A and B are shown apart, each in its own frame.
Chain A
Amino acid sequence: MKNTKEDIKACNCEGKSLTVEEINSAVESVVKETGTGKNKVILILQEVQKKLNYLPSEALKHICRITDITPGQISGVSTFYSQFRHIPAGRHTIKICAGTACHVKGSQLISEAFKRDLKITEERNSSPDNLFSIEEVACLGCCTLAPVVQIDNKTYGHVKPTQVNEIVNDFLKSQGSRKGHDSKTVKDDFDAEVRIGLGSCCVAGGSKEILSKLSDIREFYELNIKVKPVGCVGVCNQTPLLEIVSPENKSTRYTNVRKDQVEEILLKHIKPRSLNKKLKFTINNIADTFLSDDMLYSPVNLPGEVREQTLNNFLQAQKHLATLNGGMMTPDSYDEYKLLGGFSALRNVLMTGDRSSVISTIKSSGLRGRGGAGFLTGRKWEISSASVSATKYVVCNGDEGDPGAFMDRMLLESFPFRIIEGMLIAGFATGANRGIFYIRAEYPLAVTRIKNALKVCSDKGLTGSNILGSDFSFEIEVFEGAGAFVCGEETALIASLEGKRGTPHLRPPYPAEKGFMGFPTLVNNVETLALVPWIINNGPEAFSSIGTDKSKGTKVFALAGKVAKGGLIEVPMGISVRDIVEKIGCGVAEGRTFKAVQIGGPSGGCIPAEMAGTPVDYEELTRMGAMMGSGGMVVLDNTDCMVDMAKYFLDFTHKQSCGKCTFCRVGTKQMLDILTRLSQGKASLADLDELENLCYEVKDGSLCGLGKTAPNPVVTGLKYFREEYEAHARGICPAKRCRDLVKYLITDKCTGCTKCFQECPVGAIDFRPYEKHEIDQSKCTKCDNCRVVCPESAIELVDVKNEDKN
C-alpha cells in the first residue's frame, strides 16, 4: 500500500483538520451514489467515514441538509452502531478481538499492553504520532487463533502481551513491501494441483504470503502445477493449510506451513520438467541442506501419515452438508460449484414449479432455524408464503455478532453460491421477489465474495427476471451491518435495514406478515439457507435421518477456546458435547483439566464437564440452561473462572443491549455490577441471592431474545458452579483468574535470569542477576508478562486473601 500525500490528507490522520469544503464535497459525492432516502443513512455514514476517516459533525450536518435524513435520526443511528466514530482515528486501526475465545486466552492483557506500549489513552484514542488507534471489537471470527489482533487488514494470531513491538514493526515493514500476485493462465495437464486455504483464518495464518511464494516458486522452477485457492477446510487451528493433489487424485495435506517451507514441500511432490531446472533443484537442495538447519524443523521430515491422521480424526466425526465440498472448491468459482451439482436444486424446483411442494419438503425434513431459537424453517416459509403482497422479501441474516462464533463468516466466504442458491429457493417457495444479504461490516471478505458471486449469478441469469426461463424473478442486494449484536434479532435487523436504530419490537406482528418497509419478509440465518440445496437434492428423508427426534440434520459449530484442535466443524445433531471436545477437538492442553463448554455465546450457558454427555439438540441444550445459539462453542479448562466468564458476557450484553426496555438496559447493568464486585471480593452471599433473583426478573421482563437470554451465563454458573461463586464472596478465586484476588510471587525456582525484569513494563521487578527476584506488589499491574517469559516457571499466582492470613 502506498501512502501518498493525498491518501494521508484524505484520511486525516496527520491531525490536520479538514476544511468545510472538503467535508461537504465528500458528503455530496457519497450522496450522489447512494440517493437521499432516509433508509440510506447507514450506507451514507459508512461511505462518508471511508472517505474522511471519521464522522465530523460538519459532515453529519451536511448529510441532513442534502438528504431526507433528520438530525435526530443521524444522531441516533451514528451513535448506535459500533462502526461509526466521531473522533478521528490514527492512520492504522489496531483491532483487538474481545471475543470469548480471545477473552479466555487473555485478550484483556493484550489490549492493555498495546495501549501501554503505544501510549494510547482513553481521551485521545490514538498514539501520539497519530499512527495507530485501538478498537476493541466483539469478535473478528478467528477464534482458533486466539488471542487475535488485526492491524488494518493484517491479522496476527496467538499474540502474547510481550509482542507489541514485534507486531507493530512487522506491520510497518509489511506496508512497504506488499505486492500483488496475479494468477497465471494455466495449462490443462498438470503435474499436481496445489490447494491453499483462503478463509479469514488461513489468511490470518499467512496464507497470502504462502500464495505469493507458491507463484514465485512455480515461476522459478517452471513447475507445471495448478495453484488453487480454496475456501475454509475448518482446520482453522493449524493454518495455513496446503494440500497437494496428484493427478492420480492422491492428496497430501500440510498444516502450519511456513513461507520458507513451501519450496521444499512443492519439490518433494513435483519434479521440475526441464533438465536444467532439475539441476538447479538438486544444487539448491544440497546447498540448503548444508546451509540451513531449517530442515530439522520442517514438516516434510515428519512422516506424512502422522499429520494426516490428526487431520483425519478432526474431520472424521463430522458430517458435511452445509460445508459440503469444503476445501475442494474455489469459493469464487461458479463453474466448480456448478460442476459439483450446484444450482441443480434450484433448477429442479423451478422446473417442477410447485411452490408448496418445496415448502413441504423443507417442512418434512425437520430443518429448524440455525440462528438460535430453532423455529421450524418450513413453517416459517409457510407463514411467509401465505402473506399476500406484490413485494416480498427474503433476508439472509449474516449479522453474526456472538463473540466466539464464526460459522456464518466461513459459510459466506467459502460457499457464496450455495447460500445464494438457498436464498433463491426460499424466495421461490415463499413467492418473494427481492432478497437482501445482511452481512456484518466486520466481515469484509464475506461481503466481497457474496458481491462477486451475485455479479456472476446476474450474468448467468440466475438472478433478475425470469430466472432459468421460468416465471420466477428475484433481485438480490447486499447490506452491510454496522456493528450491533442486537441486530441478529430479526425485528432489530429489519429496523436497521430501514435506517433506524436497531431496536427490536414485540412480535406479533411477525416480519413474515409485516417486515422490511412493511412488506412481508422472511428472515433466515446463513446456515439455514446453506442447508436448503442439500435437502432439495437429497430429499427430506436423508436429512431427517440424521440427528435426534426433534433436532434434525447437522449443525456447524465454531470450536475454540482451550481445546487442542479448534476450528469450524459440522456435526450431526445428537453427537455428545464430550465427543466434540475429545474426539474432534482432541481435548484440552496437557496438565489442564476440561472444566466446561460454553455454548451459545452471551445467550448461552456453560455445560460442566460432568454433563458433557449432553447431546447437541435444541431441547436438551435449553434444558441444561445453555442454548444452541448460532453455534459458538468455547472450551474452558481449570484456569478459567466462571465468575469471570459471566462478568465477561454481562459486560458484553449490557453494552450490546439496544437500551430500550428497562430490564435489559438497567437489569443487566445491575447484574454486571454485582459480578464485578464478586470478582473484586467485595460482594457478600446476600448479593448472590440478589443476583439470582435478578436473573429471573431480567429473563421474564425483557422485551426480546437478547434480554431474555442474557442471564443464561449467570444462571448456569450458579447452577453448576455455585461453590465457585461462593468462594468469590469469601474473597477467593479458585481458578486464580480474577486479578483483584490474586497476586504474583516469585518462587525459589528463580535462577535470576532477569528476563522478568526486562519484560516488566512498570518497573516492579529489580535487576538482580543470579539472585532470586522479587515483585514490588505496590507497583505490579498484574500484566502477566513476567509469568509468560519466565523460563523456569518460577512465577506463581497466589490468593491475596490467604497470604494476608499468614
Chain B
Amino acid sequence: MKIRIDDIEVEAEKGQTVLDAARKAGLQIPTLCHGDGLEHYSSCMVCIVKDIRRNSFVPSCSSLCQEDMEIDASGDEVLRLRKKAVTLLLSEHRAECEGQCRVVCPMSYNIPLMNRLLSAGKTDEARELVLAETEGGDLNCFTCKAFCENACRRKKIDAPVSIRNTRIFLYNSSGIEKGVRISSDYHKPVDLKKRFSSRIGQIDETEQREWLKECGTEVKRHREITEIKDAVEEAGSCMRCDCRAADDCRLRELAEHFELKDPKGKFVNSPISKKINIKTGLIFENAKCIKCGLCVRLSGDKKEEPSLCFVNRGFVSVISLPLFDDFDNILPTMTDKCIEICPTGALGHFGNITGK
C-alpha cells in the first residue's frame, strides 16, 4: 500500500508501523521508548505524528499503516508536541547531567573523572588528565576560590572533597615544565555552556545520603594532600554526582535538538534512590528513569530472569524492583543488554570510570 508522509509517497506493507515506513523512506523521527524488535509500548510520545485525515495525533511507533494514510511528521504542531513531551519528561527527571563541581568550575575541569581515575588507582591517568586540562597554560586552581568545593554535594553530608588541593598536588608532583602540552585520552574539551544540562531540583537529607552508596563507607578523609595515597583516599569520598550517560543520553540529545531549557521546578514521583547489584555491577538510579519500559520489555518478565517492573499507577507509576526481591538477584544475565538499551543514565555499570 501507499501512504504519504510529509508529502512524500512511501511504500508500506500491511502491519508495518508508520515509524518503520518513514525510516525506510529515509525520514527521521526521534524516539525514546521504541526498541527495534520489541513489543510496541508508546509511552514517551516523542515520535508523535499527525494523522491528517483523522485529524488526530498518534505515536508513529505503534500506529499501523493504513491505505491512503496522510501523515504530517514535521509540521509545527507536531514539533511543538514533541518538544512538550521532552519538556514534560524533563520535569520529572531529577538528575544532573554534569557534576556541580564541574558546572561551577570556571575552566570546566572534569573533576569527577579525575576522582574516579584516582580511586581506581589510575594515578598516572589522573595526573595526565589534570595536566591536559590546562592545555599548556597554568593550573587555574592556584588562584581560584574553589567554587567546586562549595558546590560539592559531599559538603552537605560532612566535608567537601578536597578538590583544589588534590589538583594542585597532582600538578605540582608531575615535575612538568610550564607551557608543555600533555595529552590524555580522557580529556575531551567541551563548552558546557552550549550543552543542555538537567538540574536536580530540591532533594532532602535522606535522598542526599543515597549518593554515599557511590563511594566506600569507610573512607579516610584528607584536607591536605601531601602524598599520592592521600589523593587516592580522598578521591574515594567523591559521590559521583555526574551522570554516567552524560555523553550517551538520548533525553539530553533531544533536549539539545529542540533547544530546550530545563523546566523550572521538578515534580517528585518517588524518593531518589540508588540500587546496586553487587553480583552484576548494575546500578539503577530511579530518579533518572523516564518510564519507557524498554528494560522491562527486553528482559521479558521471566521467572528465571527476575527483572525490573512497573509499579503503582498514575503520576507515581515508576520502574522498580519487584516488591519483595533482592536487587542482587535482578537481571542476572541481561544486565549489559538492559544498560545498553536504557535511553538515559538510569541504568549503568557501577564501577565504570567513563560512560555507562
Contact = CB atoms under 8 A, between A and B. Distances in A.
Contacts of A501: 310, 313
Given A660-B43, A662-B43, A665-B317, A86 B323 contact: yes
Interface in B275-304: 291, 296, 301-303
A703 B77 CA distance: 16
Interface stretch (A173-181, A668-676, A742-750): A668-676
A666 B267 contact: yes
B168 interface: no
Interface string B11-33: 00000000000000000000000
Given A79-B311, A656-B314, A662 B320 contact: no
Interface string B205-228: 000000000000000000000000
Nearest to B61: A506
Given A661-B43, A697-B81, A701-B57, A72 B313 contact: no
B234 interface: no
Contact of B42 (A60, A76, A79, A505): A505
A72 B306 contact: yes
B267 A659 contact: no
Contacts of B323: 57, 60, 71, 74-75, 78-79, 86
A701 B84 contact: yes
Which among B42, B88, B89 has the highest number of chain A CB atoms within 10 Å?
B88
Contacts of A303: none
A657 interface: yes
A7 interface: no
Contacts of B267: 666, 669-670, 673
Interface string A562-587: 00000000000000000000000000
Contacts of A591: none
Given A60-B324, A665-B291, A70 B303 contact: yes
Contacts of B151: none
A781 interface: no
Given A79-B312, A659-B314, A703 B42 contact: yes
Contact of A72 (B48, B66, B301, B312): B301
B45 A61 contact: no
Given A659-B312, A659-B316, A697-B84, A506 B59 contact: yes
A65 to B, nearest CB: 10
Interface residues of A, number: 46
B89 A70 contact: no
B48 A701 contact: yes
A667 interface: yes
A132 interface: no
A219 interface: no
B104 interface: no
A665 B43 CA distance: 10
A388 to B, nearest CB: 17
Contacts of B312: 79-80, 659
Nearest to B17: A506
Contact of B315 (A57, A80, A657, A703): A657
Contacts of B64: 508-509
B306 A657 contact: no
B314 A654 contact: yes
Nearest to A667: B88
A721 B194 CA distance: 44
Contacts of B310: 76, 80, 501, 659
Interface string B47-81: 01000000011110011101000000000010011
A79 B313 contact: yes
Given A506-B58, A666-B89, A658 B42 contact: no
Contact of B45 (A70, A72, A663): A663
A286 to B, nearest CB: 63
A387 interface: no
Contacts of B10: none
A72 B89 contact: no
A486 B317 CA distance: 14
Interface string A631-671: 00000000000000000000000111111111101111110
A662 B322 contact: no
B252 to A, nearest CB: 16
B92 interface: yes
A703 B309 contact: no
B44 interface: yes
B43 A700 contact: no
Nearest to A73: B301
B315 A701 contact: no
A484 interface: yes
Which among B57, B58, B66, B315 has the highest number of chain A CB atoms within 10 Å?
B315
Interface string B77-117: 10011001100110110000000000000000000000000
Given A60-B323, A60-B324, A670-B267, A659 B62 contact: no
Which among A60, A484, A666, A697 has the highest number of chain B CB atoms within 10 Å?
A666
B166 interface: no
Given A659-B315, A662-B88, A670-B88, 8 more contacts: A76-B310, A79-B312, A655-B315, A663-B84, A666-B92, A697-B81, A700-B81, A701-B48
Going nearest first, the 3 A-B pairs with the smallest beta carbon separation are A659-B317, A72-B309, A71-B322
Interface of A: 57-58, 60-61, 64, 68, 70-76, 78-81, 86, 484, 486, 501, 505-506, 508-509, 654-663, 665-670, 673, 697, 700-701, 703
